[in-house]
Amino acid sequence: MKVAFLDRDGTLIFEPPVTEQVNGPEQLRILPGVVEGLKKLIAEGFALVMVTNQDGLGSRSYPQKNFDAVQGALFKRLKKEGVQFYRIFICPHFPKEKCACRKPKVGLLKGFLKKASVDRGASIVVGDHDSDEEFAKNIGIRFYRMETNGAFPRFASLKRETKETAILAECNLDGTGAFSISTGLRFFDHMLEQFSKHSLIDLRIKAKGDLDIDDHHTIEDVGLALGETLKNALGERRGIKRYGFLLPMDDVLVECAVEKYGTNEHHKIEAIFKAFAKAMKDAVALDPRRKNELPTTKGVL
């Protein structure tokens, strides 16, 4: 079973910075990209599981009826979009109570993780706090971090198997340029690392192929898998800048060609990947002025 474990406040809905508590439906704000992101997770076969700390739930300072009203309004909106959660796990305790169920502890999920046969290698955790990241480590599942009250991260994963290759590709368009690349072709690895580093797109690629006869199958299939993964991560493409290019400084343009006696031209290839990375970084970036609009006059991309 492939599961997306999701935090609530600050990840799915706006978390008030002072109170850190949503006290009524009138305060409910679903964060940018959440609905599309959840739809995409469902389409990719993930079961959605909410895991949330709700300090003092049921106390005078946080009545149960307030929480229920917000939760009900949230699920009503999501249901209209075809989004439903498989399970909900809530810790109602204050940190000072030192319970066994508050994230990053895993007491809430021990039974579920055993009974549900969760595929930890394919599952994910999404959250906005260090406690969410530590929680992910404690249950052995990879973590996607987002800024508190920011846009829901745009990520995708893909497995592609042919007679020649077996490839796993994962990307996070809203990452920091972290990478883990292993194709068996070190120079190709380096080019993909350049792409990740300069585009700020987190990238994980593991590829196995027949390199003894010809390495072009691996290069070709990694390219296909990477392209499909980037496409899936972009989703409906709402709000993106769309165009990406490199612009020289306004007062100088320098072109430099280096040729040293016909030696290795790998610098050309390296420069292509760096330029591609910079262009991709600009093209997939979210433009705050576009909000949720498609960057086209045709109505579809």
Distance CA 241, CA 159 (A): 28
Q: What is the per-residue pLDDT for 123?
A: 94
Instruction: Quote the tokens at residue 114.
Output: 């055993």
Place of tokens 């490839």: 167
For the question of residue 7 being annotated catalytic, the response is: yes
- What's phi and psi for 282, nearest 5 deg? -70, -40
Catalytic one among 9, 132, 174, 221? 9
Distance CA 96, CA 125 (A): 25
Q: What is the per-residue pLDDT for 207?
A: 96
Residues of the chain with CATH 3.40.50.1000: 3-145
pLDDT in tens, 195-231: 999 899 999 999 998 777 778 889 999 999 999 999 9
- What's phi and psi for 204, nearest 5 deg? -130, 120
Q: Are strands 87-91 and 3-6 parallel, antiparallel or unpaired?
A: unpaired
CATH architecture of 155-284: 2-Layer Sandwich (3.30)
The strands making up 165-172's β-sheet, listed across from edge to edge, are 155-161, 165-172, 202-209, 179-182
Nearest to 178, CA basis, from 159, 146, 201, 149: 201
Q: What is the per-residue pLDDT for 287?
A: 80
Q: 47 near 118, Cβ under 8 Å? A: no
| pLDDT lower than 50: segments of the chain | none
Q: What is the per-residue pLDDT for 261?
A: 58
CATH superfamily of 3-145: HAD superfamily/HAD-like (3.40.50.1000)
Residues of the chain with CATH 3.30.230.40: 155-284
Distance CA 217, CA 222 (A): 8
Torsion sign (Cα): 224, 220, 271, 184: positive
Q: What is the per-residue pLDDT for 238?
A: 82
Whole-model pTM? 0.78
Q: 51 by DSSP, 3-state: which?
A: strand
Distance CA 182, CA 71 (A): 43
CA dihedral (85, 4, 94, 129) in degrees, to 10, reads: -130
